[in-house]
Chains A and B, each alone.
Chain A
Amino acid sequence: MTPVFWLFAIMILTAATCALSGVFLVLRKRAMMADAISHSVLPGLVAGFAFSQGPNLVTGFIGAVLAGLVTVFLVERITSKTQIKEDSAIGLVFPSMFAIGVIWISAQYQNVHLDTDAVLFGEITLAPFSTVSIAGQNLPQALILILIALALNFVFLFLFVKELKLSTFDPILSRIQGYSPDSINYGLMAIVAITTVAAFTAVGAILAVALIVAPTVTALLFTRRFGWLVFATAGIAIFSGFTGTILATLTDLSVSGMSATFLGLTFIAGILFAPNRGAISRSLALKQQKLKFATTALLIHLDSHQNTSESETESHINHLKKELGWTESWIETVLRHAKRGDYIKVANNQLFLTEKGQVHARNVHSHI
Chain B
Amino acid sequence: MTFDYTFFTIALGTSILGLVCGVLGCIAVLRRQSLVGDAMAHSCLPGLAIAFLITNTKEPLPLMLGAAISAAISMLVVAICRKFSRTAESSALATVLTTFFGFGVVMLSIVQQSPSANQAGLDKFLFGQAAGLIHQHIVVISLTGIIAITIFLLILKEFKLFAFDPVFARASNLQTERLDLILTGLIILAVVVGLNTVGVVLLSTMIIAPGVGARQWTHNLNKMLVIAGIAGFFSGLVGATISMVGELPTGPVVVIVSALWVGTSVLANSILRSRRKSKLELIR
Which A residues form the contact surface with B (CB < 8 A)? 26, 29-32, 34-35, 39, 82-85, 87-88, 90-92, 94-96, 98-100, 102-103, 106-107, 116-117, 120-121, 206-207, 209-210, 213-214, 216-218, 220-221, 252-254, 256-261, 263-265, 267-268, 271, 274, 277-279, 282-283
User: Can you pick out 16 interface pairs between chain A and chain B where the beta carbons lie within 8 Å of each other?
Assistant: A29-B91, A87-B32, A88-B29, A91-B35, A95-B203, A103-B248, A116-B126, A209-B94, A210-B99, A210-B102, A213-B94, A253-B110, A264-B95, A267-B95, A277-B86, A279-B80
Bound: A268/B92 CA distance, A: 11
State A103–B85 Cα separation when bound (angstroms). Answer: 42
Task: Please state if A103 and B97 are interface contacts (CB–CB under 8 Å).
Answer: no
Shortest distance from the beta carbon of A225 to any chain B beta carbon, whole Å: 14
Residues B87 and A220 in contact, CB atoms below 8 Å apart: yes
User: Please, how many angstroms separate the alpha-carbon atoms of A267 and B77 in the complex?
Assistant: 10
* Bound-state Cα–Cα, A116 to B249, Å: 14
Residues from chain B with Cβ under 8 Å of A282 in the complex:
84-85
Instruction: Choose from B35, B109, B110 the contact partner of A90 (Cβ within 8 Å).
Output: B35
Given known contacts A35-B97, A102-B252, A213-B91, is B103 in contact with A261 (CB within 8 Å)? yes
- Residues from chain B with a CB closer than 8 A to the CB of A92 are 204-205, 208-209, 212, 259, 262
Q: How far is the CB of B258 from chain A (nearest CB, A)?
A: 8
Name the B residues within 8 Å of A34 (CB-CB).
Answer: 94
Q: Which of B193-211 contact A (CB under 8 A)?
A: 198, 201-209
Residues from chain B with a CB closer than 8 A to the CB of A84 are 212, 262, 266
Closest to A283 in B: B84
Sorting the interface of chain B by its residue count into under 10, 10 to 19, 20 to 34 or 35 or more gives 35 or more
The residues of B with any CB-CB pair to A shorter than 8 Å are: 29, 32-35, 37-38, 77, 80-81, 83-88, 90-106, 108-110, 113, 122-123, 126-127, 198, 201-209, 212, 215-216, 246, 248-249, 251-253, 255-256, 259, 262, 266, 270
Chain B, interface SS category:
helix
- Whether the Cβ atoms of B87 and A254 lie closer than 8 Å is no
Question: What is the interface of chain A mostly: helix, strand, loop, or mixed?
Answer: helix
Asked whether A35 lies within 8 Å of B87 as measured between CB atoms, the reply is no
Q: Are B98 and A206 in contact (CB under 8 A)?
A: yes
In the complex the two chains form, what is the Cα distance from A32 to B97 in whole Å?
9
Structural contact, B102 and A256, CB atoms closer than 8 A: yes
Q: What is the number of contacts between chain A and chain B, taking CB atoms within 8 Å? A: 197
Contact of A257 among B96, B102, B206, B252 (CB under 8 A): B102
| 4 A-B pairs with least C-beta separation | A260-B102, A264-B99, A257-B105, A99-B252
Minimum distance in angstroms from B215 CB to a CB of chain A: 8
B282: shortest Cβ distance to chain A, in Å? Answer: 25
**A214 close to B85 (CB less than 8 A):** no
A88/B34 in contact, CB under 8 A: yes
A98 to B92: give the CA distance in the assembly, Å: 24
Partner of B95, one of A100, A116, A117, A217: A217
Residues on B with beta carbons closer than 8 Å to the beta carbon of A260: 98-99, 101-103, 105
- Bound complex: CA of A30 vs CA of B88, how far in Å? 10
- Are A213 and B95 in contact (CB-based, < 8 A)? yes
Interface pair B102/A87, CB less than 8 Å apart: no
Known A-B contacts A95-B203, A120-B126; A100 and B85 likewise in contact (beta carbons under 8 Å)? no
* Contact residues in A for B94 (Cβ distance below 8 Å): 31-32, 34-35, 209, 213, 217
Interface contact B249-A102, CB-CB below 8 Å:
yes
* A271 close to B77 (CB less than 8 A): yes
Of A29, A96, A252, A277, most B-chain CB atoms within 10 Å = A96
Distance in angstroms between the alpha carbons of A196 and B103 in the assembled complex = 20
Q: Quick check: A271 and B201 within 8 Å, CB to CB?
A: no
Residues on B with C-beta less than 8 A from A268 are: 77
**Contact yes or no, B99 A214, CB < 8 A:** yes
CA A120 to CA B103, docked complex, whole Å:
14
Let me know if A263 and B38 touch, CB within 8 A: no
Partner of A271, one of B35, B84, B252, B256: B84
CA distance A26 to B93 in the complex (A): 11
Nearest CB of chain B from residue A341's CB, rounded to whole Å: 28
Q: Per a CB cutoff under 8 Å, which of B99, B108, B202, B262 touches A98?
A: B202
